[in-house]
Amino acid sequence: MSGRLSLHVPEPEVRPGGAPDFSGVRIAKAGSVRRPPVDVEPADIRDMAYSIVRVLNRAGEAVGEWAGSLSDEDLLAGLKTMMRVRGFDRRMLMAQRQGKTSFYMQCLGEEAIACAFRKALEPGDMNFPTYRQQGLLIADDYPLVDMMCQIYSNRRDPLKGRQLPIMYSSKAHGFFSISGNLATQFVQGVGWAMASAIKGGDRIAAAWIGDGSTAESDFHSGMVFASTYKAPVVLNIVNNQWAISTFQGIAKGGSGTFAARGLGFGIPSLRVDGNDYLAVHAAAKWAVERARQNRGPTLIEWVTYRAAAHSTSDDPSAYRPKEESDAWPLGDPVKRLKNHLILKDVWSEERHVQAEAEIDAEILAAQKEAESHGTLHTGPKPSVRDMFEDVYEVMPPHLRRQRQEAGV
């Protein structure tokens, strides 16, 4: 063919073997982005979808209008929560490698987002998470042993062995049952928020999605419904740059930023440094307050980097430079908060090392307890009888017959 047309297929700047290059990533200086009042007209903050809210600067100081949403005590607790999440991930990754379960997913490098966000919510609020928000549960003090029992699909698995590891569910902890089908929960979160508004209560929802899944139609469905009915929901996009092997440019296309997706819907849209615990909390609090005041949805793009593999079934060295994670300009969330607290003289390297050891001991003890109830391959497992329960509230005759046939 000799026409002028050719298909544009976006490519990341660098592939394995190349030198990581984030020089094209524009990052606003910490403290430079204003904090508007929560009753701001969405039209007046359209520029914020293209900037980036940051509190911690390179020196580790908290600066600007978004600083000050948390006390030193809260920040120390937040640091320890992120360390627990990281320690938990490390142990469970190892357990998977040891054949104690089939599958695991870490959130390495993204801990600040779920951990700080959870602290901006109230009891009774509901998250509709993706598979990488284990921090929501840990920050809400969900028992680590229960999480592990789910991962091991053992006799004490709260989900009775029915779900892939890490697809937790806990209504009591404001954590909606995780689906392996991407983006479905995003619009469900909007529906939950609509229900809360229909009932006239005070509870709000938080819907979660990854950068890659914003390409799903359910993302757009969620945006339409949230915008139309001004649902009390915080719409979170965790942009960790990579959807398995696909870089964010494939889902984003020419839109500039993921936050900018919200502008056409008239939804106030922020872009926030997701590796900055203070910025995450302050922005989450702003959006949660808007929702609770019945001012409608807020879209937040959390800018971060998936430092580990997508899952235990993935090897990122096949599609991105190994050094890319270290070159990521927004740094590591744990180190940044640690440095801030050391600078404030409420934390030290020694105390950090000591806390790491304590947390590791706690996780190890939890693991020992969880394993006393079984692991996937050694058992004991949930009963085969459980396989037939909960398909319906009351087991219909055809399932009863099949259960008999299975001999249970």
Residues near other proteins (CB under 8 A) are 126, 128, 158-160, 162-163, 167, 169-171, 176-177, 179, 181, 184, 187-196, 198-199, 205, 217-218, 221-222, 224-225, 228, 390-393, 396-398
Least separation, in Å, of the C-beta of 246 and other proteins? 20
| Dist CA 15 CA 317 (whole Å) | 9
Instruction: Kindly state the smallest distance separating residue 171's Cβ from other proteins, in Å.
Output: 5
**Residue whose CB is less far from other proteins, 109 or 174:** 174
Q: Where is 302: in which H helix or E strand? A: strand 298-303
Q: How far is the CB of 260 from other proteins (least distance, A)?
A: 21
Query: Of 281, 331, 384, whose CA–CA distance to 57 is shortest?
Result: 331
Instruction: Tell me if the bond preceding 12 is cis, omega within 30° of 0.
Output: no
- Pairing assessment for the beta strands 242-243 and 246-247 based on DSSP bridges: antiparallel
For residue 334, give the nearest of 126, 79, 84, 142 by alpha carbon: 79
User: How far is Cα 372 from Cα 376, in angstroms, rounded to an integer?
Assistant: 12
Unique residue bearing structure tokens 């490390």 = 90
Catalytic residue among 118, 306, 320, 352: 306
Rounded Cα distance between 361 and 368, Å, is 10
CB of 360 to other proteins, least distance (A): 30
118, 310, 336, 352: the catalytic one is 310
155 with 374: CB under 8 angstroms? yes
CA-to-CA distance for 342 and 126, rounded, in angstroms? Answer: 34
Minimum CB separation of residue 344 from other proteins in Å reads: 40
Looking at beta carbons only, is 169 or 313 nearer to other proteins? Answer: 169
The residue among 348 and 404 lying less far from other proteins, judged by its C-beta, is 404
* Separation CA 152–CA 337 (nearest Å): 32
Of residues 275, 242, 269, 243, the one with CA closest to residue 257: 269
**Is 306 an active-site residue?**
yes
Q: Name the amino acid, one letter, at 11.
A: E
Nearest CB to other proteins, comparing residues 224 and 361: 224
Backbone angles phi, psi at 131, to 5 degrees: -75, 0
Which lies closer to other proteins via its Cβ, residue 69 or residue 130?
A: 130
Beta carbon of residue 396, minimum distance to other proteins (angstroms, whole number): 4
* Total Cβ atoms within 10 A of residue 399: 14
Task: Kindly state the smallest distance separating residue 107's Cβ from other proteins, in Å.
Answer: 21
Instruction: Please indicate whether residue 310 is annotated as part of the active site.
Output: yes
Task: Decide whether 228 or 245 has the Cβ nearer to other proteins.
Answer: 228
Degrees (nearest 5) of the Cα angle 210, 272, 91? 55
Q: Which is nearer to other proteins, 15 or 385 (CB)?
A: 385
Strand order in the sheet with 233-239: 126-128, 205-210, 233-239, 298-303, 269-273
Q: Where are the extended beta strands (E) located within 58-109?
A: none
Catalytic residue among 34, 46, 162, 319: 319
Please confirm, yes or no, whether 319 is among the known catalytic residues: yes
**How far, in Å, are 59, 60, 62, 126 from residue 344 at the CA level?**
11, 9, 10, 34
Q: Which sequence positions are flagged as catalytic?
A: 306, 310, 319
